[in-house]
Chains A and B, each alone.
Chain A
């Protein structure tokens, strides 16, 4: 039986966000400011690709129409992707990349901590596994936010600009969603009611150390990953990421 239901959508949201964030990180290959940081970004990306695959495999089993993790990653169109708008934003400079990474890591950290206790054993197992990796991701991105924010005048200014550029997309990290509340009500996932406050508390804490100002709460706008209404950047990213499988379906090595 095909189950393209709200829980499947939720799994895709997690898988797609991890995959797109990983793809953005890979764009730094050969261009990072230092080789250690390049390795760091590639390793975080690798963890995220693995996490995406775990979520996709579960989603594919639920959809149960012959799809698999590769099909979900490489043969869906932009409107079918459920990733956070935040992660599809261009990398910009290192400050923008780290700001995006930090907002995303903090979201993953709190979300996975909640999902670890899911009654659904599969969700709980993937969340537990992923969380171990995400603790390192968050530690690293928090340190960079602090270092750049509380660094030189220029690094501080660049961080302020970076926050300006991506802050509005964090609305998706803090808005309460009816579908997820319904999933929690039916016991499919634990309640995510605390997530917005927890996320904001981490941002407040790290920004205070980084001497950065937390902007006012962002407001909802017409784009939303939940309906597949993405910013213009996702299509271009997918064109590159999916090219090989689109041009040569089922190619393998």
Chain B
């Protein structure tokens, strides 16, 4: 065995090949957001990169909101899940640029949000549409488009509070940023 291989192979004999990276992505599919436990970190689009650096798996994540208290929790969950899957000393680091946008939430994530009772973000996140604030949000309970905003902010920074005028149920709307 050459010296170079010793450095890049961890105790489980992983060498960071395509198969390892793919397996890591599979593990990440199972790491759920602590606030919305039906969507994974992959669904949310906060995993920006998975690579093999100096014999360790390295995962780069981006925070959803600057002050999101779930960010550190998510980093720990990712580390724990990867360790459990046999990756030794995985590293998780943060990257701010490019800034996270709800456009990165995948189709599966949007469907899962809706099934959980949270209206997924509507439209894309350009500044003009955000400033005007005019969005037609569909009620995740009954599907009616006759809804109104109660508050710009809901139970967490990433959500706004809405009410359906058809079924009268209040619901969270995952804001577009």
Contact = CB atoms under 8 A, between A and B. Distances in A.
B107 interface: no
A49 B67 contact: yes
B62 to A, nearest CB: 9
For the side of the interface on B, what is the size category?
20 to 34
B99 A136 contact: no
B160 to A, nearest CB: 8
Contacts, number: 85
B65 A139 contact: no
B66 interface: yes
Contacts of B127: 135
Contact of A36 (B67, B130, B151): B151
Given A133-B177, A135-B131, A47 B99 contact: no
Given A44-B153, A125-B96, A136-B152, A36 B66 contact: no
B96 A39 contact: no
A75 interface: no
Interface in B10-66: 63, 65-66
B97 interface: yes
Contacts of A133: 65-66, 157, 177
Interface in A39-55: 39-40, 42-51, 53-54
B152 A139 contact: yes
Interface in B107-146: 125, 127, 130-131, 133
A46 B133 contact: no
Contacts of A37: 151
Nearest to A22: B67
Contacts of B65: 46-47, 50, 133
Interface in A193-226: none
Nearest to A136: B152
Interface string A126-141: 1011101101101110
A43 B153 contact: yes
A125 B153 contact: no
A121 interface: yes
B82 to A, nearest CB: 25
Contacts of A143: 152
Most-contacted residue by chain A among B65, B156, B161 (CB, 10 A) = B65
B43 to A, nearest CB: 20
Interface string A63-94: 00000000000000000000000000000000
A39 B155 contact: yes
A155 interface: no
A8 interface: no
A128 B99 contact: yes
Nearest to B150: A36
B68 interface: yes
A46 B157 CA distance: 8
Nearest to A51: B66
Contacts of A43: 153, 156-157
A124 interface: yes
A132 B158 CA distance: 11
Contact of A50 (B67, B153, B175): B67
A139 B131 contact: yes
B86 interface: no
Interface of B: 63, 65-69, 96-101, 125, 127, 130-131, 133, 150-157, 161, 175, 177
26 contacts: A36-B150, A36-B151, A37-B151, A39-B154, A39-B155, A40-B152, A40-B153, A42-B153, A43-B156, A43-B157, A47-B65, A50-B67, A51-B66, A51-B67, A54-B66, A54-B96, A121-B97, A125-B99, A128-B97, A129-B100, A130-B66, A132-B125, A132-B177, A133-B65, A135-B127, A139-B130
The 6 residue pairs across chains A and B that have the minimum distance between CB atoms: A50-B67, A50-B66, A36-B151, A125-B97, A46-B67, A40-B153
